[in-house]
Amino acid sequence: MSFRYIGRVVIPSPNAERYATVCQFCNVGCGYDVYVWPAGEEGGLKPGEHGVVYRVKDTVYNRELKPDSTDFSRITVLSHSMGIPWISEAMVVRTIRRDWSKGRGTGEWREVYVAQIPSPECPINMGNHSIRGGTNGERNWSPWNVAGARRLKFPMVRFGGRLEVVTWDYAIDLVARVVKGVIDRWGVESQRWGKEGHAIFAHRMDHGGGGGGAMIENVTAGLFFFYGVRTAFARIHNRPFFGPENPAIGDAGPGAMNNSLHDLRLADVMVFWGANSYVTGTVMFIEHALSNLRGATADEKRRWFGGEPVVDTYMIIVDPRKTETVEAARAAARDRVLHLAPEPGTDIVLANAIARVIYERYRGTVDSILQVYRQAAQRGFNWDENAWRLYLEEALEINRKTLDQYLAEAEKVTGVPRRDIERAAEIIGAPKPGGYPKRVWLMYEKGIIWNQNYRSIYSLVDLCIMTGAFRGIPGTGCQRQGGHQEGYAGPEPPPPPWVKERLHPSPWNFAKLKGIELKTYDDYRRLFNEWYREVYTEGYYKTKWPMGDRYMPTTDFRLEGGEGRVLWVHDMDNYKLAPAAQRLKAAVSERSWRVTRYVFAQDFAGITARDSAEQYDTRALDIQVTTRPTSEEYARLVLEALEKTGGLFVVVQDIYPTFMVEDAHVVLPAAFNNGETPDVRMSVHERRFRISDAWLDPPGEAKPDWWIYAMVARRIVELYEAEGRRDDPVARRFRDAFKPIWDAMERNARDPSVEVENEIFKVYIANADETFSRLGVGWEVQYWTPAFKKLDLNILRKFRTVGVILPLTELKINPDGSVEARGIVNLMEPALNPQYREEVVVARPDGTIERRIELVSSEKARGYAVNKLRAWPSLWLGHPLYVAELMKDYKYWVLNGRYNEIWQTGYQDPNSEVLIRRWPYAFIQVNPEDARREGLENGDIVVVYNPHGSVPAIVWVSEMVKPGVTFLIMAHPYSVGANAVTTPSVEPVAQNPDYKLTRANLRKIGSLRPEVKATLTFKDIKFS
Ligand code: SF4
């Protein structure tokens, strides 16, 4: 029960327990404070009468919050930033929880209120929130709310046509026996590791039950699949393989997360490319980008710019649609916003064209920026001069085409008028008064990542190199926006059995594979020619096969081709979000039911076809349709079925019943990492690292993901031991990987104050270097530095929603109980400049948190900073083959993206009544001209179709899309979503899908009833 429609909320009582967390949704990572207190009690409005207390001194943004600032009788619009947050009905829920007096999860159940309030202390949101985050509270489960009703609460196993509740013992034993049996029978022998379980396919989220990255959860998933099972056949999140989403910017040097919100606030020019940030990174855009655009950060600029003038800020937005981001920016500064709307899939051409104009017209500025890299090269920085020359000659064609020829072609391909290309170049490239190059900051996201990933991202990286976005001074930066928060930790995944190393076929890896030594400019030219020919012209554009599959297999398409024996799906719904999702569903479903039919065939065996008879045979009805074999018997039959039928055993581990549950043999209910199990993750825009703590017990018998993996691993080891194979390498792997967790679980059973998650953090994350060296395997903990070794969950709790930024250069625990953490603000800065900005956060014993930025000698941080900058020419070679084929017969581009209120697959959205009433159906935006031609109106129902699939959607006639382009919401809780019509096209190097590039036709099949239509609005969003 939330507090809907009763016109009041309760304020946390003075004795409320307080927890720190981060929003469960997007990349921005806004901080939230959570209060839990007995139902029936409530706080008063005045300081001291309630439990909402802030203690922060932030000299970076010049803010101070004190305990006496939170006076709810003075609440006004935007008073959140002064420490008086708005508490809405959607932020408070009444639920039940144990009293936890002896430790988490212990004691009697009691009724409590839980309030989840945007944190004014957090430097990211400063108490602000988006429409998604504002409903975090009501997503907490309660026996009386929708979230509580929808949650998976008990393990289930399929008996015939039906999933039935079983004990954890049954489910764990069944899964362990099948996994072990598959490794034993179909494992690939490796000299070093024993049998590797490549027949087990893992579809795993990289960030756990919630929407944000979570290291504790995914380190245990990694221990299970990559160390215990040792499978190369995994996929991660939104892509059909396990590997990086932004390899190009990593290959170039800076990596996908290299600057900070501090830089965004100080930039002279902000470029948002394929990001639609108002909708997909809302608070970052409103609090930081729009504040800068409006001039609200001018004083901060004066402080950091020295003698350099502070000028009006400009924003360039590149998006085929006139998005809410464009509208919001124009409302803030109409004359200083430029919107470029390229034809879908032509961004490479546009980026190169802007760069070519800057190179021709603002050469002095470009030279002064290149000088920064060249000077740093004299100190050991790896600036690649040959790669830069190759970029100028091959991508910008400086010696081949005149500027006029180049721009005429760019205009034709992209549809962006030449004057707009030149205007963008001028905004970015023309120096400020006094000849200072502009401080350029660029952010990209799925418009680029899901659109010929590697070359598209590289074309932006090249532009950023040229314009100084990578020169590492305040106000510069070039990185991704992100879809959700991040927090990857774990052992390295094994390569597939046919190669020695997992890699993506970047030019540099390709050079290694082909033995091309890169010494002279001619070597670079040879690499350029051979790479483009083998990977693209003779490869992907001819065969459709992505070369990267050889080194990091694309599990989706291999499953469709009949590979794999087990599919374990962890926290994702690939019947919605895989490329060409309906094909995956068809294949997985059919293969899963082969196993079910085999296992339960005996129950149906007595029923055969016969001619009509006067009287039916009642004996047929005596047959028990579902019988419960023992878990051992079930597993034996499954293994037989896998041998004889080519079927697939499907395990789904999740918090809600996804579409994939329809075909699952086992369903494992997980605890949610938004409040039911502690974890750690970071925001994308400045790597702000915080705890997302636990404040609730999971519903029913739901268990944390780490518990599930640890228990299945334990059972696998017991099964080996029972066979007298204690020293089998597979048993050894699982035992070595999970023993510290089993030990911590035992200690916790004796003393509940021992927190298992903290032990996992200490062993596998803080001390990952020692632990994985003991296990003899490579590892990754994002932005790990030796300062991590002193970190644990209780220290992170002291930093509340402020957290620390990574990489940490130091962590000091002082005798007075204060803790001081120091981290690097912009990762290019120490590499290229004598001093860098270091954020210092101090947590005092009285609970006060101080935050400041100091300038520190770059020598201290060079080891953790970016050490190279390497351009590479991106060529546009036309549309990918799958897409080019569709262009012949299918009229409309179907852009696929997230929509403000609807998060990811929509897994949490039915819990929020207001949100689901606003968007009860999946929709498609259609331009008025196209709507007229197709005879469509607002509220009509169309089927969007092409040879890859079809999906119904409600028509929203909108000027946001131009003629020939539609926008189909990526996913919706009650729809299979836009991936029903995406193609299997994945980029050959990065292997990320071309989700943004598909074509389809529309067919009207009906209209919403007038009374339903009357409850919806189809107006375009306007800002004043
Ligand atoms: S902007 Fe993102 S992180 Fe912030 S409240 Fe909204 S959804 Fe949450």
DSSP 792-810: -HHHHHHTTTT-EESSEEE
Amino acid at 573: D
Work out which ligand 1 atom sits closest to the CA atom of 129: 5
Tens-place pLDDT, residues 32-58? 999 999 999 999 999 999 999 999 999
Strands (DSSP E) contained in 148-282 are 156-159, 162-165, 188-190, 194-196, 200-204, 234-236, 269-273
Distance CA 32, CA 446 (A): 26
Q: What is the pLDDT of residue 623?
A: 53
Q: Which residues of the chain have pLDDT under 70?
A: 1-5, 206-213, 602-610, 619-627
Determine the residue of 88, 132, 484, 904 to mutate for testing ligand 1's pocket, defined as the one with the most ligand atoms within 8 A of the Cβ atom: 132
> What token pair was written down for 727?
């020293």
Q: What is the pLDDT of residue 7?
A: 75
Sign (positive or negative) of CA dihedral 210, 213, 219, 222: positive
Residues lining ligand 1, judged by CB closer than 6 Å?
23, 25-26, 28-30, 125, 129-130, 132-133, 282-283
Contact yes or no for 830/862 (Cβ under 8 A): yes
SS3 706: helix
Distance CA 671, CA 677 (A): 7
DSSP 263: H
Q: What is the distance in A from the centroid of ligand 1 to the CA of 118? A: 9
- Tally: H helices and E strands in the chain: 34, 37
The rounded radius of gyration (Å) of the Cα atoms in the chain is 28
Distance CA 249, CA 463 (A): 12
For the chain, what's the residue count?
1024
Q: What is the pLDDT of residue 766?
A: 98
Query: Closest Cα to atom 6, ligand 1: which residue?
Result: 130
Distance CA 243, CA 600 (A): 38
Residues in CB range of 806: below 8 A, 6 or more apart: 682, 687, 689, 782, 783, 785, 823
SS3 892: strand
Contact yes or no for 124/283 (Cβ under 8 A): yes
Distance CA 558, CA 554 (A): 6
Q: What is the pLDDT of residue 5?
A: 60
Work out which ligand 1 atom sits closest to the CA atom of 131: 6
Residue reference for tokens 């912009």: 826
92 burial (CB, 10 Å; 0-12 / 13-18 / 19+) is buried
Residue-wise burial string across 581-593, b where 16 or more C-beta atoms lie within 10 A, e elsewhere: bbbbbebbbebbb
Query: Closest Cα to atom 8, ligand 1: which residue?
Result: 133
Helix, strand, coil shares of the chain as percentages rounded to 5? 40, 20, 40
At what angle are helices 507-514 and 521-531 packed, to 10 degrees?
100
Determine the residue of 21, 24, 27, 28 to mutate for testing ligand 1's pocket, defined as the one with the most ligand atoms within 8 A of the Cβ atom: 28
Tell me the pTM.
0.96
Work out which ligand 1 atom sits closest to the CA atom of 25: 7
Residue reference for tokens 């694309």: 554
Work out which ligand 1 atom sits closest to the CA atom of 26: 2
Contact yes or no for 241/992 (Cβ under 8 A): no
Sign (positive or negative) of CA dihedral 97, 101, 107, 108: negative
Convert 721-762 into a string of H (helix), E (strand) and C (coil): HHCCCCCCHHHHHHHHHHHHHHHHHHHHHHCCCCCHHHHHHH
SS3 417: coil
Mean pLDDT, the chain, as a whole number? 94
Work out which ligand 1 atom sits closest to the CA atom of 125: 4
Q: What is the pLDDT of residue 945?
A: 98
Q: What is the pLDDT of residue 161?
A: 83
